[in-house]
Chains A and B, each alone.
Chain A
Amino acid sequence: MLELQNVSKLVGAETHIADVSLRLERGSLNVLLGPTLSGKTSLMRLMAGLDRPTAGRILVDGADVTGTPVQKRNVAMVYQQFINYPAMTVYENIASPLRVAGVDAATIDKEVKRAAELLRLTPYLARTPLNLSGGQQQRTALARAIVKKASLVLLDEPLANLDYKLREELRAELPKLFAETGAVFVYATTEPHEALLLGGNTATLSQGRVTQFGPTVEVFRKPVDLLTARTFSDPPLNTIALVKRGGSFVMEGDSGVALPVPLSLAAIPDGPYTVAFQPHHLSLSPRDGGAAVRAKVTASEITGSESYVHLGFADARWVMLAHGIRRFEPDETVEIFIDTRHLLVFGPDGRAASTFPLAA
């Protein structure tokens, strides 16, 4: 188990990590999700022991390792760039951590072959990394991380430099590969989609802070604040500023919008709120609990089976994910329906509105 207690990291006057507390269990897959410079890499470096935190403690299985350098911890790391020893064969690359550990030749051979088999590298063992495709190079780096049998495996956007389809394949394999080792597994990504496909737990990061940590789908469906919801949506989250009056959310000075307040939130006080909804909760046909509004089309994009329709509503820019192929003329006005069962409601402080006051 890896535990971070109120960890902060300052570099000069700049805060890279601000008061992060996390508990990552053995055998768990943990995703760090956030845009570039949100602190994913900084946090991983702290977890690995490459950097020393400015404040806070880091515990492994209850033992304080805050001052222990990376060489003394059992850590494996895989980076976005494919990092291998260019002069060594794939076999030697995979074997390298075992050689350092002084494992006997027979065991090395067995372990290397097993990892190669797992990552489908067996035909390439005699080649050097530069004679491999990007996907195979990254598989080699992953194989090296596997044979190391590290108790903490850190993957920093490992698939970002790979082709789309290759990414899909490796992404499906990764959790399986590491699940059996019982290691704490941390995966950084900028893509919400990737976090959802990986499953496990997700910590959303924004400006060096962890805004929420929990099971991935739960963080996605029930973000605790607007920042988390924004970080965790691709396409960007649709939002609108509305005022709650009794049983509905209405727009200031406009009678056109009236969204019924979800039953679970009936008790929240009247006042201004930010109401948000995901692109797939907008539709062209009324569903149960659909509230109609009229919006202007700015662009539409087709992905094959679905269409992303970019809309302008008052000052807001929305994206609707509509089923089927929908072609619209730009500036056309369309009637759309908001699925009010899935509304996300945030107070003026950005925190998710709740009938029960959230623990501070």
Chain B
Amino acid sequence: MARIDLDHIRHSYMANPQKPADYALKEVHTSFEDGGAYALLGPSGCGKTTLLNIISGLLRASEGCLLFDGHDVNGLSTQERNIAQVFQFPVVYDTMTVYDNLAFPLRNRGLAEPDVDRRVREILEMIDLASWSKRKARGLTADQKQKISLGRGLVRADVNAILFDEPLTVIDPHMKWVLRSQLKQLHRRFGTTMVYVTHDQTEALTFAERVVVMFEGEVVQIGTPDELFERPRHTFVGYFIGSPGMNVLPIRLEGNRAQLGSQAIALPDAPATSSAKTELGIRPEYVRLGRAGMPARITKIEDIGRHRIVRLDLEGREIAAIAGEDEEIPAEPHVSFDPAGINLYADSWRLETGRIETARPMTGGGH
């Protein structure tokens, strides 16, 4: 187990990168604490897999330094870094039994057979495959194979970290729940540093203690699931996390009021900004429907079982609100925003109260 430091890491797939756009991964400077569970979250092409491959050593960063427990590992091979990785599609050795699949990494490292046996049995028990140990891996289902991939990572007691590259992509929804909760239990039990790459916000938020949100090669925010939900630092985070995403409405700031079209919204305090483009972000969960507030027109109601998504027209803008299963939706609704859920953005970056925040991507250390 190890703490991982990413020290001003940049990467480009080109030989001579000139401008920032040439970099698939713009500067990343952060640390993953020993024993932490992290998720790298973002749309495809945001650089998350590049970053993962740099950590695992399958790729060498163009610039910057990678440290495991303070030791420079830039020059080390994947094997020497002593990490485990679970891939999107289950990688199992078809001709081996389940048992031999798990024993493989240990035997390769020359562990004594009794120790191998003890470790393998322990892991088999944990991933619920004990009764399958003598079976050849080729006939198993996708989720069983993915469990083996996972088991091969866990079987080595001394790994520095386990890396996951969208490991639940090919798994059916029901099995996802089972595997995810198993993964969490294993993390708790072993305390291995885990880094999990995904484009699925539910997977990222439910798995990780801290989530790294990436967009176009940059880290936009690092935070706990509730921070990302309640206080997105960038409108992209607001949009990307949450389903539906955050409503972002253009406003004019006037003291402690936000002017939205002809409506004025009272703000908890008076933020100051010199920026021309100011926006108000409010999650559908914080939009209240009632008989008081700003008049709006319902365009569509989507009943998705446990709640309903109400699409409204407010001052010519489409916004979404969430209404509970048994909640009554007024015929002529008025909407109001819960002050606790209001975030203000200048040039897409969140305004901290009372001061102007420079609209510059903070690539630096989240904690």
Residues of A within 8 A of B (CB): 35-36, 133-134, 163-166, 168, 190-193, 196-197, 199, 217, 220-221, 234-236, 278-280, 298-299, 301-305, 308, 310, 319, 321, 325, 330
Contacts and interface: CB of A to CB of B under 8 A. Distances in A.
A303 B199 contact: no
Contacts of A163: 43-44, 199
16 contacts: A36-B142, A133-B44, A163-B43, A165-B239, A190-B173, A199-B302, A278-B306, A299-B181, A301-B181, A301-B205, A303-B201, A303-B229, A304-B241, A305-B242, A325-B225, A330-B188
Would you call the interface of chain A mostly helix, strand, loop, or mixed? mixed
A32 B239 CA distance: 29
Given A133-B44, A164-B200, A304-B228, A234 B173 contact: yes
Contacts of A217: 303, 305
B244 A319 contact: no
Contacts of A193: 173, 304
A163 B226 CA distance: 22
Interface in B42-58: 43-45
B305 A196 contact: yes
A351 to B, nearest CB: 21
B229 A164 contact: no
B77 interface: no
Contacts of B174: 35, 234, 236
Given A301-B206, A305-B285, A36 B172 contact: yes
B89 to A, nearest CB: 12
A99 B4 CA distance: 57
Contact of B184 (A191, A280, A299): A299
Interface in B287-303: 302-303
B302 A197 contact: yes
A302 B43 contact: no
A310 B43 contact: no
Given A35-B172, A168-B244, A303 B188 contact: no
A164 B185 contact: no
Nearest to B41: A164
B10 interface: no
Contact of A303 (B173, B202, B240, B303): B202
B173 A298 contact: no
Q: Which 9 A-B pairs have the closest CB atoms?
A: A304-B229, A301-B206, A280-B306, A196-B304, A163-B199, A302-B225, A234-B173, A35-B172, A163-B43
A168 B242 CA distance: 11
Given A163-B43, A304-B205, A298 B302 contact: no
Contact of B185 (A298, A304, A305, A321): A298
B205 A302 contact: yes
B283 A165 contact: no
A292 to B, nearest CB: 20
Contacts of A280: 306-307, 325
Nearest to B205: A303
A133 B46 CA distance: 12
Interface residues of B, number: 41
A89 to B, nearest CB: 22
A238 to B, nearest CB: 12
A260 B174 CA distance: 29
A304 B199 contact: no
Contacts of B283: 305
B243 interface: yes
B43 A166 contact: yes
B177 interface: yes
Of the candidates A164, A234, A302, the one having the most CB atoms from chain B within 10 angstroms of its own CB is A164
A304 B173 contact: no
A310 B346 CA distance: 40
Nearest to A303: B205
A235 B177 contact: yes
B252 interface: no
B243 A168 contact: yes
A67 B41 CA distance: 49
A303 B230 CA distance: 11
Contacts of A196: 303-305
Contacts of B43: 163, 165-166
Contact of B226 (A166, A279, A325): A325
A193 B173 CA distance: 10
Contacts of B306: 278-280, 321
Contact of B225 (A220, A221, A304): A304
A134 B177 contact: no
Nearest to A166: B43
Given A163-B43, A168-B243, A308-B206, A302 B226 contact: yes
Contacts of A191: 173
A303 B206 contact: yes
A134 B245 CA distance: 21
A236 B302 contact: no
Given A193-B173, A301-B180, 20 more contacts: A35-B172, A35-B173, A35-B174, A133-B44, A163-B44, A165-B199, A168-B243, A199-B302, A220-B305, A234-B177, A299-B184, A301-B184, A302-B226, A303-B201, A303-B206, A304-B226, A304-B229, A304-B230, A310-B181, A325-B225
A168 B43 CA distance: 12
B320 to A, nearest CB: 11
Nearest to B177: A235
B201 A302 contact: no
Interface in B230-265: 230, 239-245
